[in-house]
Amino acid sequence: MTKNKMSNKQQNILIIGAGLCGSLLALRLGQRGYNVTVYEMRPDLRKTDISAGRSINLAFSDRGNKAMKLVGVEDKVKDLCIPMNGRMLHDKEGNTFLSNYSGREHEYINSISRGELNGLLLTEAEKYENVSIHFNKKCKSVDFEKTTALFKDYHTKEEFIEDADCIIATDGAGSALRRSYYLERKFLFSFSQDYLTHGYKELSILPTETGDYKTYKNALHIWPRGDFMVIALPNLDGSFTVTLFLSYTEGEYNFNNLTTPEIVTEFFQKEFPDALELMPNLVEDFFENTTAPLGTVKCSPWHYKGNTLLMGDSAHAIVPFYGQGMNASFEDVVEFDAVLDQHEGDWETIFTAYEKTRKKDTDAIADLAIDNFHEMKDHVGQAIFQEKRKIEMALEKEFPEDYSSKYSLVTFNEDIGYREAMLRGRAQDKAILNMLSDGIISTSDDLKDILDKVKTETEAILEDDKIAGLH
């Protein structure tokens, strides 16, 4: 190791926020020998329950797992996972239909507890003497010229300033660093925050008295109803975390008019009768848990000189409908690590190169997540969409090396960037849907013929998009 590299290791890195992205980043930078200090505004989640109202389980897939391999905790994380092989669709009559995520058996996503995973990453990071993590300390602002941050201690009520060689903010969609970029106006900073007209509310299906699951364990359950939906993910204790996605103001039932136990029960009785049967605690959950908004945050630049950098949700918050929010933040750390290998010691070059490679992909997953919102609440119930899925599953099964659906490209192909996955995936979707509606292909055709036609048509669409300047 060169002398220069050794001296770099003495550098002090301040991380704001010890959520999933911050705790993973602290662990990785600790492994690389940096002095890392992390400040988190919430209490230590390993000692207190702070999950109320936040999504307590998440979809964990290959991109996230790549990060776990990088820091050597893959096996420990596996113990926290429940495999979900596909979507279990529930119609109003209570009929169910299982649609696999992939035609390849080894490809599935996992339900994982946010708190358990976060706790594991914090514990692993603290094993390193050069990593210290402090809780109950809220970042109020960042002076990105001086590379200092102002904090307030929730217990003592005192304010104090921390300085560092560089500051990385992983403090989520309401980031204090991003706010400082925006308010200080010392450089050109673009920022957009787009909210869906829908919000979400966490509910639950509790285990049976003997601790078993009340419905099929290894699936992501969806009750698609056109303008709204309910989803459910399994937890290790036999329960399911249920989320209602519903408009604030539109439709016969919305969050603004679901104001009494009677109306809430009537809504579920009418729209989700089989879910209601499993949820004697519905009314209690509904009025105890908050309704939260769903928004997308995009901004640029993510960094200021070599002083400060935004990472994870603070740089690119997305809606949860592709199950990629956590996976994308974990992939941030993998990509950042690769850039560190190339440019260690020069923070400005590192931050610039990282943003250049990463931003196009995070913009793409944000757009894909919005697409999937419409797909999950509406399209999955349509006949032509189900035909398309049938064909795609058959192609993946028959030609595992030659075909991957858009969902597979995004979820299971961690070596393909989100942007490439989006462009190719959208072109494939368009090709199959067009040919199904024009009667050029059908589910009874020879699969090799279908594959050839889909490939040819996909390439033609990609070429047209290129000429039209769409990529």
* pTM reported for the whole predicted model: 0.94
Mean of pLDDT values over 82-108 = 94
Least confident of 53-57, 64-68, 323-327, 401-405: 53-57
In this model, does residue 451 exceed pLDDT 90? Answer: yes
In this model, does residue 22 exceed pLDDT 50? Answer: yes
Question: Under a CB-based contact definition with an 8 Å cutoff, are residues 361 and 417 in contact?
Answer: yes
Mean of pLDDT values over 298-305 = 97
pLDDT reported for residue 318 = 95
The residue among 385 and 316 whose pLDDT is bigger is 316
With cut-offs at 50, 70 and 90, classify the pLDDT of residue 2: very low
In this model, does residue 52 exceed pLDDT 50? Answer: no
pLDDT reported for residue 30 = 98
Neighbours of 400 (CB within 10 A): 16
Buried b (16+ CB within 10 A) or exposed e, 123-137: ebbbebebbebebbb
In this model, does residue 380 exceed pLDDT 70? Answer: no
With cut-offs at 50, 70 and 90, classify the pLDDT of residue 383: confident
CA-to-CA dists, residue 158 to 30, 136, 175, angstroms? 28, 12, 21
Mean of pLDDT values over 132-141 = 97
Peptide bond into 400 cis (omega under 30): no
* Secondary structure of residue 40 in the 3-state scheme: coil
Burial class for 349, CB neighbours closer than 10 Å (0-12, 13-18, 19+)? middle
Least confident of 39-53, 101-115, 267-281: 39-53
Mean of pLDDT values over 183-209 = 94
CA distance 73 to 69: 6
CA-to-CA dists, residue 324 to 50, 59, 106, 459, angstroms? 22, 7, 19, 26
pLDDT reported for residue 185 = 84
* Secondary structure of residue 431 in the 3-state scheme: helix
CA distance 113 to 214: 19
Taking only the tens place, the pLDDT of each residue in 99-126 is: 899 999 899 999 999 999 999 999 999 9
Q: Which residues contact 137 (CB under 8 A, 6 or more apart)?
A: 39, 40, 41, 151, 152, 153, 154
In this model, does residue 68 exceed pLDDT 90? Answer: yes
Residue 142 amino acid letter: V
pLDDT reported for residue 463 = 94
With cut-offs at 50, 70 and 90, classify the pLDDT of residue 57: confident
**DSSP structure class, residue 104:** S
Residue 197 amino acid letter: T
In this model, does residue 136 exceed pLDDT 70? Answer: yes
pLDDT reported for residue 4 = 39
CA distance 284 to 397: 44
Phi, psi of 55 (to 5 degrees): -60, 115
Question: Under a CB-based contact definition with an 8 Å cutoff, are residues 55 and 320 in contact?
Answer: yes
Mean of pLDDT values over 342-351 = 96
Strand-pair partners of 242: 203, 232
Taking only the tens place, the pLDDT of each residue in 351-372 is: 999 999 999 999 999 999 998 8
Percent of the residues in the chain that have a pLDDT greater than 70, as a whole number: 95
Average pLDDT, the chain: 93
The residue among 466 and 55 whose pLDDT is bigger is 466
Q: Which residues contact 425 (CB under 8 A, 6 or more apart)?
A: 368, 405, 406, 407, 409, 410
